[in-house]
Structure 1
């Protein structure tokens, strides 16, 4: 009698299918981007939301990234009141992809123009041009037959509009006084010190530690107007310094003695003011220290 063949080993279960990257229709606060990323990656949506907030506080990029994802990620499937899937939506309009492609091409062209010609549109020019592309995308979406990405385009347009308003409100300075971007100054003589330093957005590092107190006949007055970013001022050990600070948001540290304006005597100071610092800062940390 022939023995029965052994039973076949159980087949391995098929690999789990990862869901498509779509915006969530059930777990959403603004657009469902974080909920969709959570469903796709398995990471808690709260962590995604905290990450977007952190990017926003770190430089504003979180809002732009969120708006672009809102624009590019399709919405999740709709469901009827009884919980059953609704009819699948129609094809997605290609307007969103074309708009993003247009933005990338435009930014690339403007960078080339700025790099290889004497034309410099500046931040307002870049942002206004990008806003124009988004506006054209909105016009095109109104004629598109597929599912329109108007919500994402409106979100991106809103962010760009605020950025244009902010960049236009920041005054433009010449090469002598700075402007937008990180600035660093290290004068070696009293004659090299400017009476005013202006930075609209960016970190400012002003190192006055190389100055000689014997060169100061009358109090050296320096005004600093700083819009957004961190400010770090270093003064010589033997300077008697008067600091007047007007500050908005951020920490202020004056010679490790707190944030109150006043006179701060140096190691060998005679009580006569050698340097007067007048600081107007909007957003960011302010630190004044000695060498």
Structure 2
């Protein structure tokens, strides 16, 4: 009697093919980036969108990252009304890759120039140079024969343009601002008053109301450099104060008399300046008042 042949081994399942990373044409709010990431990773698109919003609120990087992905990710295949795939749209233009490469090269060169020379370009120089590269990419895309990345380039350019406008509105500080977080200073005597108070981001309160004008041999000269946040300065009722404010974005209220600087006499002032207050503020409200 012939033995039965052994059973054939089970066939191996075919390998799972991961879809190409493309922007979605069916699940999209702005460009289809989150929908494309969801199709590629299997993670719900809502979580991707929440992540981009969180990055935007944390430091503004979410908008730039989204714009770069919009620029670099090709769009998904088109489908006809019956659900069948349409004809391929043709090769993608290399303008996007060249533009990103140009951005990296220009930013790297500017970092080297700033690092090893005395030239300090500041954030405006970096942003303006990046905007120039994106503009050249848009010009090149208009002459490209492949599928143009104009949408992504326009999104990146819009973000850079807003950043340039913001940095142009914010006055430049002479020295580096120090620290992040709320700060409060309440000197008791003139000797405890610093020549300069600085804060990068956060609310700053400077209370000088405890000072006595009779203890001053010469006017106090105080400078406040403040980046982002609310600034509140309180001075004694009898101080004659000269205020000079350079402010970017936000409201300025000097002794309930508007935003114009100048000499503000105290209730019992003798006409001699007791305090010269120079304020450089970037964004936020500025208020100078009396105790």
TM over 0.5: yes
In the aligned structure 1, how far is the partner of 2:194 from the partner of 2:138? Answer: 48
Give 1:119's aligned residue: 119
Does the aligned pair in 1 maintain the 2:202–2:228 contact within 8 Å? no
Q: Is 1:143 matched up with 2:143?
A: yes
TM-score relative to the length of structure 1: 0.69
Does the aligned pair in 2 maintain the 1:64–1:156 contact within 8 Å? yes
CA spacing shift, 1:49–1:282, aligned 2, 3 Å:
same
Q: Is 1:39 matched up with 2:32?
A: no
CA spacing shift, 1:116–1:229, aligned 2, 3 Å:
farther
Q: Deviations over 1:96-132 (max 9, x none)?
A: 0110000001000001111111111111111010000
* Alignment of structure 1 residues 238-257 onto 2, 5 Å: none
In the aligned structure 2, how far is the partner of 1:103 from the partner of 1:111? Answer: 12
* Alignment of structure 1 residues 1-291 onto 2, 5 Å: 1-175=1-175, 178=176, 182=179, 190-191=190-191, 193-194=193-194, 197=197, 202-203=200-201, 217=215, 226-228=226-228, 282=283
In the aligned structure 2, how far is the partner of 1:32 from the partner of 1:158? Answer: 18
Shift of 1:143: 1.1
TM-score relative to the length of structure 2: 0.69
Which ranges in structure 1 are unaligned for 5 or more consecutive residues? 234-239, 241-246, 249-275, 285-291
CA spacing shift, 1:5–1:122, aligned 2, 3 Å:
same
Greater than 6 Å deviation, 4+ residue runs: 183-189, 205-209, 212-216, 218-223, 230-233, 278-281
CA spacing shift, 1:197–1:103, aligned 2, 3 Å:
same
CA spacing shift, 1:116–1:230, aligned 2, 3 Å:
farther
Q: Greater CA deviation, 9-18 or 109-118?
A: 9-18
CA spacing shift, 1:220–1:156, aligned 2, 3 Å:
same
CA spacing shift, 1:107–1:281, aligned 2, 3 Å:
closer
Give 1:267's aligned residue: none
CA spacing shift, 1:281–1:101, aligned 2, 3 Å:
closer
Shift of 1:88: 1.5
Does the aligned pair in 2 maintain the 1:203–1:230 contact within 8 Å? no
In the aligned structure 2, how far is the partner of 1:205 from the partner of 1:73? Answer: 41
Does the aligned pair in 1 maintain the 2:170–2:283 contact within 8 Å? no
Give 1:268's aligned residue: none
Q: Deviations over 1:142-174 (max 9, x none)?
A: 111111101100110111111111111101121
Give 2:240's aligned residue: none
Does the aligned pair in 2 maintain the 1:190–1:215 contact within 8 Å? no
Does the aligned pair in 2 maintain the 1:204–1:232 contact within 8 Å? no
Does the aligned pair in 1 maintain the 2:72–2:97 contact within 8 Å? yes
CA spacing shift, 1:152–1:87, aligned 2, 3 Å:
same
CA spacing shift, 1:15–1:231, aligned 2, 3 Å:
farther
Count of equivalent residues: 241
Does the aligned pair in 1 maintain the 2:173–2:280 contact within 8 Å? no
